[in-house]
Structure formats: C-alpha cells, structure tokens
Amino acid sequence: MRIAAVGNWFLVLLVLCQGAGTAVAVVTSIIVFGDSSVDAGNNNAIPTIARSNFPPYGRDFAGGKPTGRFCNGRLATDFISQYFGLKPIVPAYLDPEFSIADFATGVTFASAATGFDNITAGVLAVIPLWRQLEYFMEYQQKLRRFKGAAVGEVTLREALYVVSLGTNDFIENYYAMPARSAHFTVEQYQDFVAGIARDFLVELYHLGARKIDLSGLSPIGCVPISRTGNVAGGGDCRDEYNRVAVGFNSRLQAIAAQLNANLPGARIVYTSVYDIILDIVNHPETYGFENARLGCCATGLYEMGYVCKPDNILTCPDASKYVFWDAVHPTEKTYSIVANYLMRTALGQFLL
C-alpha cells in the first residue's frame, strides 16, 4: 500500500481513546525552532527581504490573512498542534498580536531563510539559530512568571520541541555562495552542519527539553525552483540535491539515536519527511493533486517571497490542486498530509 492510502484512522483512534476515557499523552505545548518551513511570521519583525506577510500568501488562512507563513494557509506544525489537542495554530514569538497567554500552548521562534550554520542566516539577514535559543530562554522566564514556577516547569518538560531546518544551509549557502563550498566538500559540510545540529539538541536538553522532534530534509531537488534550474535534466528533480538531503538525513538519524542513548530521559525522534513528500511528487494524483511540477503562485517556476506578487494573473485559483504553493514551499494541503503522516509514524509515540 502506498504511503498515502491511509485515510484518517489516526483521528478515529484518537476519538475512540478519548471516548473510552483512555488518557492521551500529555504534550503541553509545541515549541518550534527552524526556517520558513515553520516560521509563522517572525521575519515580519526584522529588516529582511525574506518575508511573506502580503497577498497572495495566507489567502486560505483564517480570514485570508497573510501572517508571514510561506504558504497559502497553515503549516505542518499548526496541524500537529491541533492533533495534540492544542490550538490550531502555533504563533510567531515576535508577532505583537500574541502574548505569553497564547504562547503557553505553542510558539515558534523560526525564521525563514535561516539554517544551522550562522553564515546561512547572514545571507538574507535573518534570525540565526543561536538567537532563536536566546528567545527561548526569554520565553522560559515569561512562562514561569505566567503559570507559576511549578506549572511552568511541567509545561516546558512535557512540551514537544520541533527542530526543522537545514535546507537553506545547502541550497542558499553551500551551492549559491562561495564561503563554505570553497572550504568544504559537500560531505564535509554535511558533517559540519550535522555537528551544529547535535550541539543544538544537547543545549535544548540542558535547558529542559525532553521530547524533541528532529525533522529531516525533504527532497530538495524536487522543489520547483530546483527543477527550473535543472535545464540539462529536462526539468526533472535534481538528483545531486536529493542525494545531499538523503546523506544529511542519515546523519541526523544517527544523531537522534546517539543522543537518546547518552542523555538520560531524552525522547528524541527523527521525523522523515523525505519519503512522503517524494511520494506525493511522484504520485500526485493518489493524494488528490493535479500539479507537482509548478508552484501555484505566478508561473510557479521561480517565484517566492516578494516575487510572488498579488496581482499576477497566472496564480492558480485553487491551491489544493498543487503540491507546492510557491517555487519552494508546499501548500497547506501538502502540509496537512505530511502532518498526518508524521502523527501516524514517529510522533505517534507521544500520544501514548
């Protein structure tokens, strides 16, 4: 049976468990670090061109609001939050519309265009990972004051920490800029970035995190902008980029296993989005899509951010028929499928 042919048995199981009085596992909050895959609008608050707080972004979000999510609607982390019985969105920490009362059940410190590597964040002047960690420490203090020390500690200990980044380290930094590629082979750079990821997880652990979702890379060679640049390959997925993603993912998987063995009480899961997204791209009709080659916005070949303009007449009328919203980022429908898949696989253990 193909990955997609699953339905919503997870939701049925959840309802049955709740109806029978069975305790569904405590996940008190969703706390997120990462890039545009999980940024809900933090970049709106900083001087960078890596923004999406304008139409047509957000046109299928509640109220048609462009929040700063690089999507037509919600992200996978929003759906995951809802699956755990929390709020249907995970708000951005720097969004002035939200307060610690909102952040108590979920918050994202993510910044579009960032990476594990500090140099990656510098390319478009976005929030580096170390700064996201500083925001988290600030958040911890606010949460303890809001909920009280004891309850705040329980919330932080039982939260699910999502770490989703790495794509920009390779596409935006290694392949597009000379600084790292001049000093590292791609394999050496994979090791270098994976080392940063490992150190970051250890820091999170020492700050109290126990349930951690370390997300792998998607098939980055299959996003529309990669295929657009693959002229010699006839617009097919770029195999080199996909091989890099697979190699990096194997390193992340090994890190999760190693840290689980060495950090008492740690429950670090490696979540693989590579296979599910590749299957969607290769078999879009199975998932109810009509187009996996182009993004919905404008021509769908290269547009993202400010190039994805609201008045472009080529933007598709129905994003649910498209795997990708712009030339890099999935549509809300794709994110919902990925979130459902992750809940049925790696993240399901946190329901028990």
Q: Is the pLDDT of residue 179 over 70?
A: yes
Contact, 41 vs 95, CB < 8 A? yes
Least confident of 178-182, 184-188, 192-196: 178-182
Q: Is the pLDDT of residue 59 over 50?
A: yes
* Cα(131)–Cα(114) distance, integer angstroms: 11
Q: What angle do CA 251, 254, 256 make, to 5 degrees?
A: 110
| Nearest residue to 253 (alpha-carbon basis) of 148, 141, 346, 172 | 346
The residues annotated as belonging to the active site are: 36, 326, 329
Least confident of 23-37, 58-72, 130-144: 23-37
The share of the chain scoring above pLDDT 90, in percent, equals: 91
> What pLDDT band is residue 26 in, cutting at 50, 70 and 90?
confident
* Cα(180)–Cα(62) distance, integer angstroms: 41
How many CA atoms does the CB half-sphere of 239 hold within 13 Å?
3
> What pLDDT band is residue 352 in, cutting at 50, 70 and 90?
confident
CATH homologous superfamily of 9-351 equals SGNH hydrolase (3.40.50.1110)
> What pLDDT band is residue 137 in, cutting at 50, 70 and 90?
very high
* Cα(156)–Cα(210) distance, integer angstroms: 9
Give the pLDDT mean for 127-140: 98
Give the pLDDT mean for 58-81: 98
pLDDT value, residue 1: 36
* Cα(286)–Cα(325) distance, integer angstroms: 18
The pair of three-digit structure tokens given for residue 295, joined into one six-digit string: 């993004």
The 10s digit of each residue's pLDDT in 76-130 is 999 999 999 999 999 999 999 999 999 999 999 999 999 999 999 999 999 999 9
* Cα(75)–Cα(92) distance, integer angstroms: 12
- CA distances 77 to 69, 91, 321, 338, 340, Å, are 11, 10, 21, 10, 11
Q: Is the pLDDT of residue 211 over 90?
A: yes
* Cα(56)–Cα(295) distance, integer angstroms: 13
Q: pTM of the full predicted structure?
A: 0.93
